[in-house]
Amino acid sequence: MTRPDIGKFIGDRHFYRRALTVALPIMLQNTVTNFVSLLDNIMVGQTGTASMSGVAVVGQLFFIFYLVIFGTVSGPGIFCAQFWGAGEERSFKAAFRYKLVTSLAMCFVCMAVLAGAGEPLIGLYITGGEAETAQVAAYAGDYLRVMLWGMIPYTVAMVYATTLREAGHAVVPMAASWSAVAVNLFLNWVLIFGHLGAPAMGVRGAALATVISRLVELSVCVGWSHRHKEQVLFTLHMLEGAPMPKALLADMFRRSMPLMLNEALWCLGSATLTQIYSTRGITVMAALNIALVLFDVFTAIAFSVGSTIGILVGQELGAGQTEQAVDTDRKLLAFGVALSAVIALGMAAASGLFPRFYNTTDDVRALAAALIRIMAFYLPLDCFANGSYFTMRSGGRTLVTFLFDSCFAWAVNVPVAWVLAHRTTLGILAVYALSLSTVLIKCVIGAVLIHKRYWVNTLSGARPDALRDL
């Protein structure tokens, strides 16, 4: 029996230096952003369980919006990464234009839905007594009406930030994010509690602080990009040039739509799961809110490895370096899983202390701590599944990612959770743990697809004449 070659999964110093050049700014940006979201959540949590639950409900709705925009930029982003790796500058610029137009279109659709159907959607997540339900719904409505104003700035900033990363300028989006979260944190302190002579606005103050921080992030990303046109290229005569060839436009649309639909359906599935859990009471919703905020902070680093896979592997595939792309993917996946195992230990260690920062009941704190420990247990598996998704995406296998991610969520995750919650007498902790265990199936599927190398695919250079006409 031959022993596995462990060296295949471990890179040298040069490999990790190169990977961290891309990964570290993303890790820092995500960590700081999620950490400030954590502080934001704690600040709102000081005003009471009802206001915290109202903000958490709206957070679920905006989670759908954020991932819809992420999915919309991801499709063109595959082309951007591969075009940049292949040196096809005009094609890169065309992909950016496509990304900007489609993202804004989806933003307007989401705004219309949230503005027109926000109250009924909020009602799906609130289960409790009449007075308690009305109070949570009122807080949620106040928060939602202000948050709507930040959707367009968020979308344009996301388009610029992702394109800058794909062009090798990962530090700029990080700086923009840090600037935004610093403003958000300061304004939360001022507007939620009424410091420095400002009125105490509560949840509306938290929402206003978020909107202003989105504008700050937008101004940094867009301002830097247009001041350094020779470096980023996509802002140099960005609206000029020949129209995109129909063949390339059709291919980009064909590969982008599954990603956009995937993110939309996946986050709808995630929101549905939360709604299923919330039928066990407002206590569950409040505890989930606390646990998920800490989960986001601890996983920001591990899950950033997936974004690094999408960029580095995509660039190597675009440059025709197939074997190097396979090697890079294998080592990054191993690195991500090992890193997530360490992070999971820290997350479990923090599970008892973190809920104490919230002004809520002991029952909510105890439930939140138990949910955090369950999340920590499954984190390495979640990280591998996330890396597998980005591996498929780097090669443009968007239909496979669609089946692997959102279809799996609706075919497996949601039905399992619904049956456990509505057709058994199991407690919420058992329901939650068994629901998360379905990630084991996803990991097996991902491992098989990666081993078969179905994801290895080059998009750039396939239509050289059409591409160079841009």
**Comparison of pLDDT for 349 and 123, the residue scoring more:** 349
Q: By the 8 A CB rule, do 435 and 428 touch?
A: no
pLDDT greater than 70 at residue 358: yes
Task: State residue 371's pLDDT score.
Answer: 94
CA distance readout (Å), 244 to 49, 374, 460, 466: 52, 48, 15, 8
Region 212-221 average pLDDT:
91
Q: What is the pLDDT of residue 458?
A: 64
Under a CB-based contact definition with an 8 Å cutoff, are residues 455 and 309 in contact? no
pLDDT of 469 reads 35
Structure tokens at 69: 């925009």
In this predicted structure, the answer to whether residue 108 has a pLDDT above a threshold of 90 is yes
Give the pLDDT of residue 467. 39
* 180, containing H or E segment: helix 171-193
Looking at the chain, the whole-number percentage of residues with pLDDT higher than 70 is 85
Instruction: Report residue 457's pLDDT band, with 50, 70 and 90 as the boundaries.
Output: low
pLDDT tens digit sequence for 19-38: 777 777 777 766 766 666 66
Q: For CA atoms 179, 185, 186, 191, give the dihedral sign.
A: positive
Residue 429 is predicted with a pLDDT of: 92
Look at residue 464 in the predicted model and tell me its pLDDT. Answer: 38
Residue pLDDT, tens place only, 226-260 = 887 766 666 655 555 545 667 777 777 777 777 77
Share of the chain above pLDDT 90, in %: 16
Handedness of CA 197, 202, 203, 204 (dihedral sign): negative
CA 358-361-366 angle, 5° bins: 85
User: For residue 149, which of 223, 73, 209 has the smallest C-alpha distance?
Assistant: 209
Q: How far apart are CA 304 and CA 19, in angstroms?
A: 11
Res. 394 pLDDT band, cuts 50 70 90: confident
Give the closest residue to 308 by CA, choosing from 70, 89, 27, 7. Answer: 27
pLDDT at 231: 67
Closest CA to 69 of 148, 137, 145, 152: 152
Higher-confidence position of 460 and 179: 179
Q: Which residue has the higher pLDDT, 41 or 469?
A: 41
Whether the per-residue pLDDT at 160 is higher than 80: the answer is yes
If 0-12 CB within 10 Å is exposed, 13-18 middle and 19+ buried, where does residue 240 land?
Answer: exposed
Place of tokens 């989670």: 63
The answer on pLDDT for 361 being more than 60 is yes
339 vs 165 pLDDT, higher one: 339
Write down the residue that tokens 């195992």 correspond to.
341
Report whether pLDDT(434) > 50: yes
Residue type, 358: Y
The 3-state DSSP class for residue 233 equals: coil
Residue 154 or 91, more confident: 154
The arithmetic mean of pLDDT across residues 350-377, rounded, is: 88
- State pTM to two decimals: 0.69
pLDDT at 468 over 50: no
Lowest mean pLDDT among 24-38, 110-124, 305-319, 379-393: 24-38
pLDDT at residue number 188 = 86
Confidence tier at 341 by pLDDT (50, 70, 90): very high
What CA–CA distance (Å, rounded) separates 272 from 263? 14
Query: Distances from the Cα of 418 to the Cαs of 190, 271, 412, in angstroms?
Result: 41, 13, 10
- What is the residue whose two structure tokens read 């103050």? 205
Angle between helices 246-278 and 49-86 (to 10 degrees): 160
Q: Report CA Rg, the chain.
A: 22
Give pLDDT, residue 4: 54
Q: What is the pLDDT of residue 1?
A: 44
Distance in angstroms (rounded) separating the CA atoms of residues 406 and 68: 12
Please state, in angstroms and rounded to a whole number, the distance separating the CA atoms of residues 352 and 168.
40
Q: What's the confidence (pLDDT) of residue 245?
A: 65
> Highest mean pLDDT: which of 51-55, 213-217, 233-237?
213-217
Phi, psi for residue 317 in degrees, rounded to 5: -65, -40
- Cα separation of 396 and 390, whole Å? 10
pLDDT at residue 454 is higher than 50: yes
Distance CA 356, CA 273 (A): 26
Which pLDDT value is given to residue 206? 86
pLDDT value of residue 215? 93
For the chain, how many residues are written?
470
- Cα–Cα dist 64/32, whole Å: 21
Q: Report the run of H or E that residue 256 belongs to, with start and end.
A: helix 246-278
- Does the pLDDT value for residue 214 go beyond 70? yes
For the residues 119-147, what does the mean pLDDT come to?
77
Low-confidence winner among 79-83, 129-133, 288-292, 293-297 (lowest mean pLDDT): 129-133
Q: Is 194 exposed, middle or buried (0-12, 13-18, 19+ CB in 10 A)?
A: middle
Mean pLDDT, residues 351-375: 88
pLDDT band of residue 466 (cuts 50, 70, 90) is very low
Amino acid code (one letter) for 439? V
Measured distance CA(161)–CA(90) in Å, rounded: 19
Residue 470: band (very low, low, confident or very high) from pLDDT cuts 50, 70, 90? very low
Average pLDDT of the chain to the nearest whole number: 80
| Alpha carbon distance 407, 385 (integer Å) | 14
Looking at residue 418, its pLDDT comes to 92
Q: What is the mean pLDDT of the segment spanning 169-181?
A: 82
Mean pLDDT is lowest, of 28-37, 188-197, 285-294, for 28-37
